[in-house]
Amino acid sequence: MKYFEMINGKGSYNKRIIFEDISFGIEKGDIFTILGPNGIGKTTLLKSILGIKRLDKGEVLIDGENLINLSYKAISKVMAYVPQVHSYTFPFKVIDVVLMGRSPHVNMIDTPEKKDIKIAEKSLKQMGIHHLKDKEYSYLSGGEVQLVFLARALTQKSSILVLDEPTSHLDFGNQIRFLKTIDKLSKEDLVIIMTSHYPDHCFISSDKVAIMQNKRFIDIGTPDDVVIPTNLKKAYNLDINVVKLNNGRKICVWE
């Protein structure tokens, strides 16, 4: 039994089937990346994984427990979510946004304790943005905001991180630093599930990859086995070659 499993998952939106026959399992310490073009249903799949959307068919299991048997508070203790798009509400300081990650662990009327602040500050340091802690997050760049929300997810102290296109608003340097951070986090026995538009990134920080097309996974396995020209052609309708660099890492090149 895997720590996290989806078995024969089927999901819809406005009565339209978005995905079906989706099955996969992940162990603690694994990074699982879901690739696929825009509009293919990756975000809807993530929301079903999180329990935000109920599956039409199938089940999600966390350490053998069916997700539908867990309360929202219980789910938030084991799963943290970083969405692709963030809407600014109030001009909170960065430290206050990150501290919101402690909400599953405190009562509604309680204020964060010293231990909660310590956890939040550690998360900020992990993401390299501790120097921003007293700034209003609404004035930050898109990339900085993404790092703030990842720090909030880490502060939640969940065993599963679910990330929707986490590198989409980051510049090239921050993309690489982010992926290396994700790789380090997986070594702390976290399960990391994320979507991406960048097949190259799978060779940097993924243990398992799935390519989504036509409502299903057309392939699932290791990056070396899945991120190959034939699968990339099916997914993106482009001739994409996979080239090995002198350092052994692979990259994807459009022909």
Q: What is the pLDDT of residue 173?
A: 83
Report the run of H or E that residue 208 belongs to, with start and end: strand 208-213
CA 98 to the chain's CA centroid: 17
What lies within 8 Å, CB to CB, of 188 at 6+ separation is none
Q: What is the pLDDT of residue 62?
A: 95
The whole model's pTM is what?
0.91
Helices 142-155 and 114-126 pack at an angle, to 10 degrees, of 130
Query: Do 3 and 28 form a contact (C-beta atoms < 8 A)?
Result: yes
- Total domain count, the chain: 1
- How many CB atoms lie under 10 A from the CB of residue 14? 5
Q: Which burial class, exposed, middle or buried, applies to 28 when counting CB atoms under 10 A from its CB (0-12, 13-18, 19+)?
A: middle
160-163, strands of its sheet edge to edge: 79-82, 160-163, 191-196, 31-35, 208-213, 216-221
Q: What is the pLDDT of residue 172?
A: 85
Longest dimension (CA), the chain: 58
- Domain containing residue 211: 4-254
- Using CA atoms, how far residue 241 sits from 111, 231, 254, in Å, is 53, 11, 6
Which residues does residue 221 pair with via DSSP β-bridges, in sequence order?
209
Tell how strand 191-196 and strand 160-163 pair up: parallel
For 253, list phi and psi in degrees, rounded to 5. Answer: -125, 125
| Angle, CA 28 vertex, CA 122 and CA 201 arms, to 5° | 75
User: Using the 8-state DSSP alphabet, how is residue 136 labeled?
Assistant: B
Six-digit token pair at 179? 């992926």
Q: Which burial class, exposed, middle or buried, applies to 117 when counting CB atoms under 10 A from its CB (0-12, 13-18, 19+)?
A: middle
Query: Do 251 and 245 form a contact (C-beta atoms < 8 A)?
Result: yes
- Whole-number Å distance between alpha carbons of 181 and 167: 12
Q: What is the pLDDT of residue 45?
A: 95
209 three-state secondary structure:
strand
Q: What is the pLDDT of residue 109?
A: 64
- Whole-number Å distance between alpha carbons of 229 and 216: 18
Q: What is the pLDDT of residue 108?
A: 64
Report the CATH number that the domain containing residue 248 is assigned in CATH.
Answer: 3.40.50.300
- Which residues in the chain show pLDDT less than 70? 85-88, 108-109
